Chain A
Amino acid sequence: MSDAILTGLAEIINEVAGVPLSDVTPSKNFTDDLDIDSLSMVEVVMAAEDKWGVKIPDSEVKNLNTVGDAVDYIAKATA
């Protein structure tokens, strides 16, 4: 499940920010490693909400520092 989410998230991040798919790994920090600014992060969240039918409130987004954080959140929300 988490692998599928990681793959899906990598596709979204590639679409939104042009980050190569293979660079999107769980330990990567959105801001420091992937250079995703606050506006692009909103886009990533919107696309993830659409893709997995989940709600990611702003209060949670600020805790999603790494790709792994986001994968875990989505995995729990869809469990």
Chain B
Amino acid sequence: MSNSHGIVVTGIGATTPVGGDATSSWMAIKAGQSGIASLPYEWAGDLPVRFGGVLAVSPAEVMDRVEARRLDRSQQTALLASREAWADAGSPEVDPVRIGTVVGTGIGGVITLLDAYDVLKERGPSRISPHTVPMLMPNGPAAVVGLDHHAAAGVHAPVSACASGAEAVAWAARMISDGRADIVVAGGTEAPIHPLTIAGFASMRALSTRNDDPAAASRPYDLARDGFVMGEGAAMVILEREDHAIARGARIYARYLGAGMTADAHHIAQPDPDGIGAARAITAALAEADVNANEVVHVNAHATSTPQGDIAEAVAIRRALGPDTAAIISGTKSMTGHMLGAAGAFESLLTVLALHHRMAPPTINIDNLDPEIGLDVAANTARALPAGPLVAINNSFGFGGHDVALAFGTYS
């Protein structure tokens, strides 16, 4: 296994429906705990879908009040996760012109936008907060994180729906391999839980309607799956040039090995049932990583729990890794729900920890594994990964036909 870029992961941070930080989130995921519950909001009563993955710890509990009031919820979570990740990396002293930031979001400050529209209608234009635009712009989370870390090498905000967080990690690595930065704060964020977004996704028939049993609603690969469950949160990883990390004595979780970014060119919302674009993304990630398909021991799958999507991804995995692949597949959205633009970032973080701890997280709620999946799914309990050098893949796909696969490897 070689790696021409020499890029490593030296820090992690997250706030998710299963935990207020990366460690508590990992502990919950490892134990198969669901973060999905009935929505604690009065407005939810009128909706066809009345549950989701709300943050385990509200940003208001841990963030300065004045700072919080100038930030959309998606920016609050991005900032908290980035500070945790930076501290986890040892709060390195780095020249700001060598620090980069790439933070993706699927929608941006949609709650801010819709709340401001209510103010506009009720109280008129003179009552619109001057913070409205910085709070709603989709590059806002990246900008807020970049400002906090004085990142002057560049601040970028890829937007590719539910692949945004994974795409951010890929572009962050590119900043390092292009020589623009030594260290990059990379991740994704989403705060989509609002009646309008729920109504919109529900109208597409994309969401599970299992209102009577929310914790069982997100069930990738199970025969009774009926759609995804909306979640919110943010996750960040610190990518760093390997020699830079070694020189400062950093703790290294895993290697970043490569990315594949392709497009289905098939449909605005439906996955290509033949999984061709997704398979090309996986193959491209392995090519950049310079590893063989049979070296992949674990896939943190996109696995949103939609009837079509899970099958299409399984087809793609078999196409790229071979029909007899021994890779252990984990669908962690079974616990977090679908954190949209944060999903690819949090699942990258989980892939890194799976390699670091040599443990593939469980996919919960599998009562009857769909026989069409044809893969070795870590159903309901975590599975050990073997000793020695390992390669794992994180898949993320987005409405619009975006396909992103990231390859990580153990570090030794």
B59 to chain A, nearest CB (A): 16
Q: Please, which residue of chain B has its CB at the minimum distance from the CB of A46?
A: B127
A residues in contact with B126, CB < 8 Å? 46, 49
Question: Is A18 in the interface zone, CB < 8 Å from B?
Answer: yes
Give 1 or 0 for each of B62-76: 1 = CB within 8 Å of chain A CB. Answer: 001110011000000
Q: Please, which residue of chain A has its CB at the minimum distance from the CB of B66?
A: A18
- Find out whether the CB atom of A18 lies under 8 angstroms from the CB atom of B130: no
Q: How many A-B residue pairs have CB under 8 A?
A: 20
- Find out whether the CB atom of B130 lies under 8 angstroms from the CB atom of A17: no
A residues in contact with B70, CB < 8 Å? 39
| Tier of interface size on chain A | 10 to 19
- Find out whether the CB atom of B130 lies under 8 angstroms from the CB atom of A39: yes
Q: Choose one: A18, A38, A43; the contact of B129 (CB below 8 Å).
A: A43
- Find out whether the CB atom of A18 lies under 8 angstroms from the CB atom of B131: no
* Contact residues of B: prevailing secondary structure: helix
A residues in contact with B131, CB < 8 Å? 39, 43
A54 to chain B, nearest CB (A): 13
Question: Is A42 in the interface zone, CB < 8 Å from B?
Answer: yes
B residues in contact with A16, CB < 8 Å? 66, 69
Q: Choose one: A18, A43, A46, A49; the contact of B65 (CB below 8 Å).
A: A18
B residues in contact with A42, CB < 8 Å? 130
A residues in contact with B66, CB < 8 Å? 16-18
Interface core residue of B70, B127, B130, B131 (most chain A CB under 10 Å): B130
Task: For the complex, give the distance between the alpha carbons of A46 and B69 in Å.
Answer: 15
- Find out whether the CB atom of B64 lies under 8 angstroms from the CB atom of A43: no
Cβ < 8 Å to B, chain A residues 1-47 = 16-18, 38-40, 42-43, 46
Task: For the complex, give the distance between the alpha carbons of A42 and B52 in Å.
Answer: 36
Q: Please, which residue of chain B has its CB at the minimum distance from the CB of A39?
A: B130
Task: For the complex, give the distance between the alpha carbons of A10 and B144 in Å.
Answer: 27
- Find out whether the CB atom of B127 lies under 8 angstroms from the CB atom of A18: no
Cβ < 8 Å to A, chain B residues 50-65 = 64-65
Task: For the complex, give the distance between the alpha carbons of A49 and B126 in Å.
Answer: 10
A-B contact pairs, 20 of them (CB 8 A): A16-B66, A16-B69, A17-B66, A18-B64, A18-B65, A18-B66, A38-B130, A39-B70, A39-B130, A39-B131, A39-B134, A40-B130, A42-B130, A43-B129, A43-B130, A43-B131, A46-B126, A46-B127, A46-B129, A49-B126
**6 additional A-B residue pairs with CB within 8 Å, beyond A18-B66, A39-B70, A42-B130:** A17-B66, A38-B130, A39-B131, A40-B130, A43-B130, A49-B126
Binding site for B on A (CB under 8 A): 16-18, 38-40, 42-43, 46, 49
